[in-house]
């Protein structure tokens, strides 16, 4: 499978967020807008393809898991709910983050087995 970058995922758990590094993936940005009754609405999204060998590191909780392109050394303070919230605010302020919307398991067939992630 063709890869073009690495990424860091902050996976949501009951205790807070854990950092998971994915050393090889294919990251594709998509920019766009759609017309609605209120005007133009941005429809930007990220398509992320994770090779089969890194499937155990894939996002588990859509709407809560967060992605950062490249290696990110930021660590969450998971001491209590307040520190988790503050850590999340700092992460989104300091880095370009996207939130996982859906995860599709494509681990079938003979070739190109992968996990497809859509994030916004």
The pLDDT tens digits for 53-75 are 999 999 999 999 999 999 999 99
Spatial neighbors of 73 by CB under 8 A, at least 6 apart, are none
Contact (CB, 8 A) for 53 and 29: no
Instruction: Please count the other Cβ atoms lying within 10 Å of the Cβ belonging to residue 34.
Output: 8
Contact (CB, 8 A) for 3 and 26: yes
Each residue's pLDDT tens digit, 87-114: 999 999 999 999 999 999 999 988 889 9
Percent of the chain whose pLDDT exceeds 90: 84
pLDDT of residue 57: 95
Contact (CB, 8 A) for 102 and 118: yes
> Model pTM?
0.90
């Amino acid at each position: 499978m063709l890869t073009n970058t690495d990424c860091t995922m902050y996976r949501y758990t009951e205790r807070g967020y854990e950092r998971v590094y994915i050393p090889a993936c294919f990251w594709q940005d998509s920019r766009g807008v759609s017309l609605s009754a209120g005007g133009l609405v941005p429809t930007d999204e990220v398509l992320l393809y994770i090779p089969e060998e890194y499937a155990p590191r894939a996002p588990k909780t859509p709407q809560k898991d967060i992605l950062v392109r490249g290696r990110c050394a930021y660590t969450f303070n998971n001491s209590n709910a307040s520190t988790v919230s503050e850590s999340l605010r700092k992460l989104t302020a300091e880095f370009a983050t996207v939130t996982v919307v859906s995860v599709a398991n494509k681990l079938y067939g003979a070739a190109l087995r992968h996990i497809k992630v859509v994030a916004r």
